[in-house]
A and B are shown apart, each in its own frame.
Chain A
Amino acid sequence: MTDQPSVPAAVPGAAAPATATPTTPTVIAAGSGMFGASDGGDTSGYSGLQRVTTLPGAGTRPYGGYFDAVADALQESLTEAGFGADDPDGPIEKVVIDRGEMTLTVRRAHLVEVCRRLRDEPDLRFELSMGVSGVHLPHDTGRELHAVYHLRSVTHSRRLRLEVTCPDADPHIPSTVAVYPAHDWHERETWDFFGIIFDGHPALTRIEMPDDWPGHPQRKDYPLGGIPVEYKGATVPPPDERRAYS
């Protein structure tokens, strides 16, 4: 999908989920044609093919397994804090159950509160965090940058994934280092690679790339550049500009 011109809006039925309802699946890719070539050359007869790829949408009750217990305990705890279950601006945007894993999409303003409750509530006790990972989804308009937290409960032998989104234009997510000190380096890594600014982090500096590195290399719009290789006048383009199957 990387060699696609960014025209997701032209795809029918793939309206940008700027005002997404919880059940709207996340659009992560929109492709056309058989090989994704935009400069002619697709003689397969499938050049008019339009493809939209979405991530799985919100699940419905019962979720199955321990997922219901986790959702109930968290909701109960959040209700104590004054958040209703159907609050449109509540902490939990949606619950996705996919491939035996539970993902809570959390609104960024409430992230630290949710993390603290997940860690401290006796029924939840996600005391171990496996860190933060970033995902850049340029087609997910208005929520391009995702930070993904992998939590693990040793007490209850459970796993849970939190997903927090922020737009490219305002790449801020509150830091969770105060709740999970382990996130110190992980948030630095996510800042380094994706440019997500974790507000309140004690020292948000680059960790893998050199301090003076321009740009954030794991973003999908980061130019790979590459080294021009010339052979009889032809130049080999960098991998992200090559014709590819997906």
Chain B
Amino acid sequence: MADQSVTVDTDPLAAPVITGDDALEGTLVTVGGGDWDEVVDTARLGEERIVVNMGPQHPSTHGVLRLVLEIEGETVTEARAGVGYLHTGIEKNMEFRSWVQGVTFCTRMDYLSPSFNETVYCRGVERLLGIEVPRRADVIRVLLMELSRIGSHTVALATGGMELGSTTVMMDGLRERDKVLRMMEEITGLRMNQGFIRPGGVAQDVPASTLNRLDDMVTSLRHGIRELELLLNENPTVRARLVGTGYLNLAGCMALGITGPVTRSAGLPLDLRRDDPYCGYSDYDFEVCTRTDADNYSRMRIRLDEMFESLKIIKQATARLRKEPGPVMVDDKKIGWPAQLALGGDGLGNSLEHIKHIMGESMEALIHHFKLVTEGFRVPAGQVYTAVESPRGELGCHLVSDGGTRPYRAHFRDPSFNNLQAVSAMCEGAQIADVVANVASIDPVMGGVDR
């Protein structure tokens, strides 16, 4: 029977300390704050192994990620990630809503890159339907996705900086992100979870006045990101924490199915925008950023570089939107969402023109509107897998249709979910302080991991 005095339990709310015969193995020490030295003395380092449960409620775990670390001194000997704390059953929910309503659900998965979730899902529905969206809709999608990528990367750097202890990086990063969110709000009406990209196109056109403000934002964003770069790139503290840590080479990436900045930091220019262009990405001029050191620092630099590439794409997309007017939703009245939105005195709603048309002029238009909104369209039976390059890697969507008005099965291959498997490979054998930096360099978004 272990001596009761060897346990430390300073937190009155902590779970009771179990010792002796009731403990599974050795002595369990519950730590709820206090001095670490005391804990080490109490746990009598040496032969004992210490298992540290980091998270799920921990400010440096990037959300509700639980890390189970086995440590020996300051060295991590085993690292495991536990997920599932944010599981909301989005995939199951989508099976009971129409195909169009599915957008509302899937946009909430990876909440930092909503445009990617919407695009990959809509492209799946469109391939099942066998339709092509209008060119302008594709350009707007590209515009939104690249804006979203910048928004996501700035958060990755901001939270990563905060987790390393730098609140300046966090404030600067979030300041830049807010510019992106304001622009998102101007284009779609919402800062996050927009549900703007719909099967068949997008909900609304982008007006010319917005494009002018978009130009201003690009300039301001370029300065802001440059400032972040100046703050981070040669910062001795950042370099000390990031250079050479979190190493994962290309073989490791391939075996673990890792995509995105982590794989590109290992030297492989793996980018779906180049390898398997979608939404007309082959028409844009941009570079796929790679580095070869395969460490946390290269991943940070890749994220910074990619934001400049995204700005390049945004400029080209804006120019295209100015030059080529056109529809933003498929012409097929059996699929395209019928409502035409307009800004009235009481906010955004169905345009009076449209109301007049369906209520006063065309019985068929009214029937179409009613059937599409209540029942939705039917999608021929089959299955597809579509993928887009999200800020974290390949975001895939496996859709199965049984010919009905609702998805029979919608599965999302979220890059965060897959990439978190690399935590063990990156952290084992490293210092415990590096764990935080390694997780930040993977940049998991738990909403996407757990769906």
Contact = CB atoms under 8 A, between A and B. Distances in A.
Interface of A: 1-2, 28-29, 53-56, 98-101, 103, 127-131, 133-136, 148, 150, 152, 154, 157, 159, 161, 180-186, 189, 206-210, 217-218, 224, 239-240, 244-246
Contacts of B222: none
Contacts of B256: 181-182
Interface in B337-375: 375
Contacts of B420: 185
A208 B404 contact: no
> Which one of A54, A135, A136, A246 has the highest number of Cβ atoms from chain B below 10 Å of its Cβ?
A246
A159 B385 contact: yes
A244 B406 contact: yes
A98 B92 CA distance: 25
Count chain B CB atoms within 10 A of each CB in A98, A183, A210 and give the residue with the most. A98
Contacts of A152: 394
Contact of A130 (B376, B378, B413): B413
A2 B407 CA distance: 12
Contact of B383 (A29, A148, A245, A246): A148
B385 A131 contact: no
9 contacts: A53-B404, A101-B384, A128-B259, A129-B257, A130-B257, A150-B385, A154-B270, A185-B418, A207-B84
B257 A246 contact: no
Nearest to A51: B403
B413 A28 contact: no
Nearest to A180: B257
Given A99-B384, A133-B413, 7 more contacts: A28-B402, A55-B382, A99-B130, A135-B408, A159-B385, A210-B84, A218-B92
A98 B380 CA distance: 12
Contacts of A206: 84
Contacts of B258: 182
Interface of B: 83-84, 87, 89, 91-92, 95-96, 127-128, 130, 254-259, 268, 270, 275-276, 375-376, 378, 381-385, 387, 394, 396, 398, 400, 402-406, 408-409, 411, 413, 417-418, 420-421, 450-451
Q: Which of B275, B381, B417 has the most CB of A within 10 A?
A: B381
A154 B84 contact: no
B84 A98 contact: no
B375 A56 contact: no
A184 B402 CA distance: 29
Contact of B418 (A1, A134, A182): A182
B84 A131 contact: no
A130 B396 contact: yes
Nearest to A136: B409
Contact of A128 (B92, B96, B130, B257): B257
B398 A133 contact: yes
A189 to B, nearest CB: 8
Contacts of A182: 255-258, 418, 421
A217 B92 contact: yes
B87 A103 contact: no
A135 B382 contact: no
A207 B81 CA distance: 10
Contact of A56 (B257, B382, B385, B450): B382
Question: In this complex, which of A28, A127, A189, A224 has the most chain B Cβ atoms within 10 angstroms of its Cβ?
Answer: A28
A56 B276 CA distance: 25
A208 B381 contact: no
